[in-house]
Amino acid sequence: MSSYDPQPEHKFTFGLWTVGNIGRDPFGEPTRAPLSPVQILHLLAEVGAYGVNFHDNDLVPIDATPAERDRIVKEFRQALDDTGIVVPMATTNLFTDPAFKDGAFTSNDSHVRAYALQKTMHSLDLGAELGAQVYVFWGGREGTETDASKDPLAAMQRFRDAINFLCEYSIDQGYDYRFALEPKPNEPRSDIYLPTVGSMLGFIATLDHPDMVGLNPEVAHEHMGGLNFMHAIAQAWDAGKLFHIDLNDQKFGRYDQDFRFGAEMIKQAFFVVKFLEDVGYTGSRHFDAHAYRSANVEDVKAFARGCMRTYLILKEKARRFNQDPEIQSLLANINADDGAFDFLSSGYSRANADRLAATTFERPALGQRDLPYEQLDQLTVELLLGVH
């Protein structure tokens, strides 16, 4: 067994919609036969995944009768028992059905907003029934093509009202859900409200139950906004709000490609894995990604194995980085400090302010400090390339 084989303790998860992706895109029909949820479970067990996530309608078709729903859930639960796969996260599809063409929670139509709430309540019930403890909200249709159509303040208030209502529902039902909001700047709407981790953090502070609500950041979504994903998850972590994470990859400046984790931007992926492992993140490592449209089912398995193997390879690289004498020596020099301003670590006081105000700085000397970042980054790159 290589050290890059996935184990349950790694908490690698995939959505039904990821390895179940049939290859349809806006310009082409499906290239793969659909897999049933039970078939997907067996595929995930074969590749060594820990868990599976789903949108309500990935599992139960939107027009299923209650009897069909119960049969499907019963079969799925049996397959969970048979494979040992668990369900850490669930979410609602509030973006496929035409009813949501102008949003779900933020729709201008109060009937659509009410239906979206009801659909989410049923989906919360389904997720809880199967053991999910994180519930993701990705507002794929919560946005506009023309801002003539919607008051952003009204839209934000509607979204706030919906999350507040659903927090109360979860509490009322006795569920111990943590809600994880997933930002994305655009696609499928021309602009999506609350587009980044930062904007979501600001929004969470305005909720009635902010303690229940955190983030599900996705690599591709922050990259679509031209942002540094590791910085984004660091801010979420700093706020105690990194409840879940969607790992994938893409070329910069593209639509949401949802590529295999580490398929494109290895150094960014390395710093994401290093951060998660350095801080001791204990949540799911969820791969919200799918195989190339050109892949057959065997290549879909290679896609899933690749996501997990690359994570584990980069985890090993992070361990090596943290133990590398040259790298750590450079970091020690870069961060060396003479303690002259340790007094400021106690924050503001009149005495500290007076002492600082009386300090004479040799400003030219401040610009002379050696910062061997080229050496440091080259060592990092060589570590990643396997020659250091």
- Residue ranges that bind ligand DIG, judged by CB under 6 A: 15, 55, 91, 136, 138, 182, 218, 246, 288
- How far is Cα 17 from Cα 6, in angstroms, rounded to an integer? 20
Question: Per CB under 5 A, does 58 bind Mn ion?
Answer: no
**CA-based end-to-end distance of the chain:** 24
Identity of the residue, 218 or 222, whose beta carbon is nearer to Mn ion in the bound complex: 218
Is 211 a known active-site residue?
A: no
Question: Per CB under 5 A, does 218 bind Mn ion?
Answer: yes
Cβ atoms of 330 and 373 within 8 Å: the answer is: no
DSSP string, 141-207: T-EES-TTS--HHHHHHHHHHHHHHHHHHHHHHT---EEEEE--SSSSSSEESS-SHHHHHHHHTTS
In the complex, least distance from residue 182 CB atom to Mn ion, rounded to whole angstroms: 5
Question: Per CB under 5 A, does 246 bind Mn ion?
Answer: yes
Identity of the residue, 91 or 380, whose beta carbon is nearer to ligand DIG in the bound complex: 91
Q: Give me 242's structure tokens.
A: 């990194």
Q: Is 144 helix (H, G, I), strand (E, B) or coil?
A: strand
Question: Per CB under 5 A, does 222 bind Mn ion?
Answer: no
The DSSP output letter for 242 is: B
Question: Per CB under 5 A, does 56 bind Mn ion?
Answer: no
Cβ atoms of 20 and 60 within 8 Å: the answer is: no
Identity of the residue, 6 or 127, whose beta carbon is nearer to ligand DIG in the bound complex: 127
Among 102, 249, 264, 288, binds Mn ion (CB under 5 A): 288
- How far is Cα 97 from Cα 187, in angstroms, rounded to an integer? 16
- How far is Cα 273 from Cα 279, in angstroms, rounded to an integer? 10
Is 221 a known active-site residue?
A: no
Q: Which stretch binds Mn ion (CB under 5 A): 9-17, 99-107, 281-289, 376-384?
A: 281-289
Site string for Mn ion, 252-271 (x = CB under 5 A): ----x-x-------------
In the complex, least distance from residue 258 CB atom to ligand DIG, rounded to whole angstroms: 7
Identity of the residue, 94 or 383, whose beta carbon is nearer to ligand DIG in the bound complex: 94
Residues marked active site are found at 55, 58
Residues that bind Mn ion (CB under 5 A): 218, 220, 246, 256, 258, 288
